[in-house]
């Protein structure tokens, strides 16, 4: 569960794992240092005048303090910080190196498409963003109905997602690892539960992963999974969800072709385990208030088989 802890190092601007996040972190620490220096100077002067040398100050001396400490010093320090800050500020729209990822904000999950350079059709996925380390990837953003905001604090700044409009943020991960992304704009009842795992991978690992992600879902591996697939198809799950290579071609909800390989379930709601899959299917509305997917009242065996089937879709 540590992967999901709100304040863990995997979702921290101060634990940068990408070029843009490093700039933001440097900016933060430098601005903080500047603020601390100014705070110490102002309060030091106050302490000096009230405790070390109390009493009236010569008029000329007082004027020097006012003009020097009240105008010149802040103007010089703040101008220097502003000029330097603007020069360091990352440009979120810097062009990428080829790969484009399209993300659509839904209530409350992420529709994800990978468009490798020159591809005619995308690799469709959901609720997880994987990026190659050392390459700048353009992430094109839009939304279904309401405004969301795309944010992977460990990799860069945030960018709003608007219905009917495209925005873009490009990210350059520098350190492989799993980080946490979070919707950063209030978008309804389950806004806080709209998260995802962001996985930065070495380029060769990423290419292998993308090839696997592009493939159809694996056939059920054993009898229980076979029964689980029958439950999936007979209960109408395929009206909303796609499992490529089966009759399930729904587009309303997340593509589940490789759902078992994801780090999280329910868009960052819980970790991907058999128990959590069962809990999710049976209590969706409790785990994610106002979610479109209803809770399913299945028999114990049906629920276990269905969870087993989905968990096997690696």
C-beta of residue 259 within 8 angstroms of C-beta of residue 248: no
Q: Which is nearer to ligand CUA, 23 or 143 (CB)?
A: 143
Q: Which is nearer to ligand CUA, 115 or 162 (CB)?
A: 162
Q: Which is nearer to ligand CUA, 288 or 308 (CB)?
A: 288
Q: Which is nearer to ligand CUA, 191 or 241 (CB)?
A: 191
Which tokens hold the place of 194? Answer: 């709209």
Q: How far is the CB of 98 from ligand CUA (least distance, A)?
A: 28
Rounded to 5 degrees, what are φ and ψ at 234?
A: -75, -25
Q: Which is nearer to ligand CUA, 102 or 191 (CB)?
A: 191
Q: Which is nearer to ligand CUA, 42 or 146 (CB)?
A: 146
Q: How far is the CB of 132 from ligand CUA (least distance, A)?
A: 26
Q: Which is nearer to ligand CUA, 108 or 206 (CB)?
A: 108
Q: Which is nearer to ligand CUA, 168 or 210 (CB)?
A: 168
Q: How far is the CB of 296 from ligand CUA (least distance, A)?
A: 24
Q: How far is the CB of 110 from ligand CUA (least distance, A)?
A: 9
C-beta of residue 4 within 8 angstroms of C-beta of residue 272: no
Q: How far is CA 104 from CA 121, 125, 172, 254, in A?
A: 16, 11, 20, 11
Q: How far is the CB of 140 from ligand CUA (least distance, A)?
A: 17
**Taking the C-alpha atoms of 32, 37, 39 and 45 in order, what is their torsion angle to the nearest 10 degrees?**
180
Give the binding site for ligand CUA (CB under 6 A): 105, 108, 148, 183, 185-187, 191, 194
Q: How far is the CB of 251 from ligand CUA (least distance, A)?
A: 19
Nearest residue to 107 via CA among 47, 43, 28, 190: 190
Q: How far is the CB of 144 from ligand CUA (least distance, A)?
A: 10
Q: How far is the CB of 187 from ligand CUA (least distance, A)?
A: 3
């Amino acid at each position: 569960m540590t992967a999901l802890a709100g304040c863990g190092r995997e979702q921290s601007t101060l634990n940068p794992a990408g070029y843009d996040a490093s700039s933001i972190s440097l900016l933060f620490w430098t601005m903080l240092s500047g603020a601390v220096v100014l705070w110490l100077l102002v309060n030091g002067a106050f302490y000096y005048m009230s405790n070390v040398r109390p009493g009236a100050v010569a008029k000329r001396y007082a004027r020097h303090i006012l003009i020097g400490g009240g105008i010149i010093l802040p103007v010089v320090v703040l101008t220097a910080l502003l000029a330097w800050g603007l020069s360091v500020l990352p440009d979120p729209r810097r062009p990428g190196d080829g790969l484009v990822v399209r993300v659509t904000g839904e209530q409350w999950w992420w529709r994800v498409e990978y468009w490798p350079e020159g591809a005619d059709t995308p690799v469709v996925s959901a609720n997880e963003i994987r990026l190659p380390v050392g390459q700048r990837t353009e992430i094109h953003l839009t939304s279904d109905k309401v405004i969301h905001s795309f944010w992977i604090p460990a990799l860069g700044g945030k960018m709003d997602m608007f219905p009917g409009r495209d925005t873009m943020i490009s990210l350059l991960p520098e350190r492989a690892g799993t980080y946490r992304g979070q919707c950063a704009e209030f978008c309804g009842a389950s806004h806080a539960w709209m998260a995802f795992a962001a996985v930065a991978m070495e380029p060769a690992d990423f290419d292998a992963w993308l090839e696997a992600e592009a493939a159809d879902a694996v056939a059920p591996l054993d009898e229980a999974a076979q029964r689980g697939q029958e439950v999936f198809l007979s209960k109408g799950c395929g009206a909303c969800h796609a499992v490529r290579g089966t009759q399930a071609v729904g587009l309303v909800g997340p593509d589940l072709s490789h759902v078992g390989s994801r780090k999280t379930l329910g868009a960052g709601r819980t970790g991907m385990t058999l128990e959590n899959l069962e809990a999710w299917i049976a209590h969706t509305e409790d785990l994610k208030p106002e979610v479109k997917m209803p809770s399913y009242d299945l028999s114990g065996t049906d629920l276990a088989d269905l969870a087993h089937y989905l968990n096997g879709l690696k």
